[in-house]
Structure 1
Amino acid sequence: MFHTPHFNWYGRGFKLRAAITIACQLAFVLFGYDQGVFSGIVGNEDFLNTFDHPSPGLEGIIVSIYNLGCFTGCILSFMFCEKTGRRLAMWIAMVWIIVGGALQTRIGTGIETSTVPMYQSELCEANKRGRLVASEPLFVGVGIELAYWFDYGMSFTEGSIAWRLPIACQVIFAIIVIVLVFGLPESPRYLYAHGRHEEALQILCDVYDGTPDDPTIEKENREVLEALQVEREHGEYKWSQLLKKDRVQTRRRVLLAYGAQFMN
């Protein structure tokens, strides 16, 4: 278990919830930008000359390997991010993306897209959880749109800057998210799961700007502890249980997630 630095820059209540939402949505703008930026680059003459005019097959591999990097990041997130915590996982993802801006690897994007929705859902009101998490694909679209227009604008320039600058600019989003996360709290659910109960309760009080006996905080506190108790009773999930119909609706949740990604 890792303890990451936390500076309370955003205060309590609405300002803190807004900062959490902005950081999560900006991470998905970055995801969309990553998805869209290469489409306007592969036809650039300087890019083609630099890489010796790759064949259509190789060009397809260059573009589609993005998804392989994302898949690798998702697997790494599944294996390690419960140990690192949500905030450290987001930092790792952003640093990897910064390195990837130079080396053009995409593993960080997979870690980011696996961790950010979970972090968002664990730090927002239950009646807004679905809307906030479901809005993240909208911000993927915003990122794609930014990438398309940026690529289009750079197509009027000459030389390597026309394709190097759009690739490099993904680093800007990653740096902003890194800075924002320094002022954000860890997920209370993660803290409860690792025995840091007092810290988790304090974060709930900060997020909802109340005291431990506030009805909203009592409800969130109770629901998190009940969910963790259910998980302990069932033991660690196995791959064979992914489509199991149980009290926490595992099958329904998995199929909803698969369906959303399939349509995407």
Structure 2
Amino acid sequence: MKNLSVVATLVACFGTFFVGYDAGVMTGMLSVPATEARFGLEQPLVRGIVVSSLYIGAFFGSLGASIPLDRLGRRRAIMLGSVIFAAGVLLQATAFYVEQIIAGRLLAGIAVGIMHSAVPIYIAEIAEEYRRGALATAIEMVLVFGIMVSFLVSLGAYHLDDNVGFRLAFALPILCVPPLIFGMQLLPESPRWLIGKGCTKDALQSLSRLRNLPEDDPILYKEFSQLCSSIENEAQTGEAKFAELLSPCVRKRVLLSLSILVLGETTGLGTIFNFIPDIMRMAGIHRPEVHLLVGAGRSGISMVASGICALLVDRIGRRPLFLAGATCMGAAMGILSALIAVRGFPSVDDQAASYCSIAVVYLFAIGHNISWNSIAYIYATEILPQRLRAKALSISIGIYWLVRTMVVQVAPLLLSLLGWRVFSIFSGICFAIAVGLYFWLPETKGVPLEKMDEVFRDRRLAMSTSSMP
């Protein structure tokens, strides 16, 4: 099949649809007063625990993701994650107590952790280098689409009987699991993983299917030979061990992979994403229907921004998009802080300030989705060595989820204690990140995974936005 790598990317990304849906549906339910009252979600501490429980599960899922990724393969790891996710969703949909929702979100979070490791690795290893960045943006585009659907479903659930509405909203993503498992069964495994397991014949067949070229084609054979040579050279050092992540030649890349993921969370993403109802109330907008529509609108704008990123990432590179995103988010947070701070002043039109706050939330979404939300995972994946990729990424994503858990846990308390000042803090962090990335972020546009070592050996090449020949 022509462009099978594109089809494989879209099928694999189908798993991120229900990841986004489950993350978004809880935010939507926070806007439904009946659901809040049923489970005691009016209390900031309980809200934080319920929302962050998904990320606690993701932390443990990420740390253990390297086991199925290395032993079962990239495809089967995705399928395993989808089965675990279905079990977690069932627990939430049948919940009668808040403890059951927390347990279901913990289980679903384990699946999220596996998916967020497996899907980027699978895409990075099957994609051609000239469109690896563009294909990777599909991960977040589908995830954001899942979030948008969750807000629209929550809006519908708001008008249904409480006992039916929230259960229907939680259960819907189960419908996505069978098509994902069936689709992944039909797709080829990562050629790089197969070579690492000594299955060179299967790897050649897999690469042949992905590139739509016969196995004896010179172009295909050249790529296959380069893969084999690179992976065999790495394999000569023996079985990959976690201790190797601290070796001087690898440590810098692992720290950069970790940093690019964690820095995205310190921009205030978790607060903007998970607590839209709280922010809208601070801005003077109290109708639950408006909260849900704002969330859905933000997701729609995020999809458009991700699409723009897909068009640009393999043309202008990763660095310019990260820098533009951090600057845009910093400006949005600063403006949001000012708009909320001036509400109530005699000379200020409160209604105008409220609607401007919505626009600024959308501006933040644009900044985040032309940068971190679209390319952070693929960047954190592609810079890592092949034989250590699964182990290093599982730790990086695990720590990312741990940081996100802490941010989401304290966000409701900070919003109630500091109010608009929280957004001023996030604004300063965003601008500081932009400055740091300008000096320390290497460019990886157009670089084959097998030549990534050269990027980190040559600083001039690392800071260039031109493709590697």
Give the TM-score range, shorter chain. Answer: 0.7 to 0.9
Q: Check the 8 A contact 1:44/1:163 in 2, yes or no.
A: no
Residue identity in the other structure for 2:76:
L
Deviation at residue 78 of structure 1 after TM alignment:
1.8
Once residues 186 and 241 of structure 1 are traced to their aligned partners in structure 2, the CA distance between those partners, rounded to angstroms, is: 25
TM-score (ref. length: structure 2): 0.49
Partner of 1:40: 28
Deviation at residue 163 of structure 1 after TM alignment:
1.1
Residue identity in the other structure for 1:18:
V
Deviation at residue 24 of structure 1 after TM alignment:
2.0
Partner of 1:241: 245
Cα–Cα, structure 1 residues 161 and 124, in superposed 2: closer, same or farther, change >3 Å? Answer: same
Q: Which has the higher helix share?
A: 2
Once residues 53 and 125 of structure 1 are traced to their aligned partners in structure 2, the CA distance between those partners, rounded to angstroms, is: 46
Deviation at residue 114 of structure 1 after TM alignment:
0.7
Once residues 20 and 252 of structure 1 are traced to their aligned partners in structure 2, the CA distance between those partners, rounded to angstroms, is: 27
Question: Rg bigger for which structure?
Answer: 2
Cα–Cα, structure 1 residues 72 and 44, in superposed 2: closer, same or farther, change >3 Å? Answer: same
Q: Check the 8 A contact 1:122/1:189 in 2, yes or no.
A: yes
Once residues 261 and 26 of structure 1 are traced to their aligned partners in structure 2, the CA distance between those partners, rounded to angstroms, is: 24
Q: In the TM superposition, what are the counterparts of 1:164-183 in structure 2 within 5 Å?
A: 164-183=167-186
Q: Is the partner of 2:232 in helix, strand or coil?
A: helix
Unaligned ranges ≥5, structure 1: 1-11
Please give the per-residue CA displacement for 1:46-93, whole angstroms capped at 9, x wherever unaligned: 434543567431221111011011111111212332001111111110
Partner of 2:89: 101
Cα–Cα, structure 1 residues 232 and 101, in superposed 2: closer, same or farther, change >3 Å? Answer: same
Deviation at residue 259 of structure 1 after TM alignment:
1.0
Runs of 4+ with deviation above 4 angstroms: none
Q: How many residues align?
A: 249
Cα–Cα, structure 1 residues 237 and 254, in superposed 2: closer, same or farther, change >3 Å? Answer: farther
Once residues 152 and 185 of structure 2 are traced to their aligned partners in structure 1, the CA distance between those partners, rounded to angstroms, is: 31
Q: Check the 8 A contact 1:24/1:117 in 2, yes or no.
A: no
Partner of 1:231: 234
Q: Is the partner of 1:122 in helix, strand or coil?
A: helix
Q: Is the partner of 2:30 in helix, strand or coil?
A: coil
Residue identity in the other structure for 1:259:
I
- Compute the RMSD of aligned alpha carbons: 2.3
Residue identity in the other structure for 1:39:
T
Partner of 1:4: none
Once residues 137 and 255 of structure 1 are traced to their aligned partners in structure 2, the CA distance between those partners, rounded to angstroms, is: 20
Partner of 1:251: 252
Partner of 2:288: none
Once residues 46 and 217 of structure 1 are traced to their aligned partners in structure 2, the CA distance between those partners, rounded to angstroms, is: 59
Q: In the TM superposition, what are the counterparts of 1:107-146 in structure 2 within 5 Å?
A: 107-146=110-149
Matched, 1:79 2:67: yes
Q: Check the 8 A contact 2:40/2:46 in 1, yes or no.
A: no
Cα–Cα, structure 1 residues 218 and 53, in superposed 2: closer, same or farther, change >3 Å? Answer: closer
Matched, 1:13 2:2: yes
Once residues 138 and 242 of structure 1 are traced to their aligned partners in structure 2, the CA distance between those partners, rounded to angstroms, is: 34
Partner of 1:9: none
Q: Is the partner of 1:186 in helix, strand or coil?
A: coil
TM-score (ref. length: structure 1): 0.84
Partner of 2:56: 68
Matched, 1:187 2:190: yes
Once residues 141 and 90 of structure 1 are traced to their aligned partners in structure 2, the CA distance between those partners, rounded to angstroms, is: 19
Once residues 138 and 262 of structure 1 are traced to their aligned partners in structure 2, the CA distance between those partners, rounded to angstroms, is: 20
Once residues 242 and 160 of structure 1 are traced to their aligned partners in structure 2, the CA distance between those partners, rounded to angstroms, is: 51
Deviation at residue 20 of structure 1 after TM alignment:
0.3
Deviation at residue 28 of structure 1 after TM alignment:
2.0
| Residue identity (%) | 26
Q: Check the 8 A contact 2:24/2:151 in 1, yes or no.
A: yes
Q: Check the 8 A contact 1:46/1:160 in 2, yes or no.
A: no
Q: Check the 8 A contact 2:9/2:138 in 1, yes or no.
A: no
198, 201, 205: which is aligned to 1:198?
A: 201
Residue identity in the other structure for 1:129:
R
Once residues 134 and 237 of structure 1 are traced to their aligned partners in structure 2, the CA distance between those partners, rounded to angstroms, is: 30
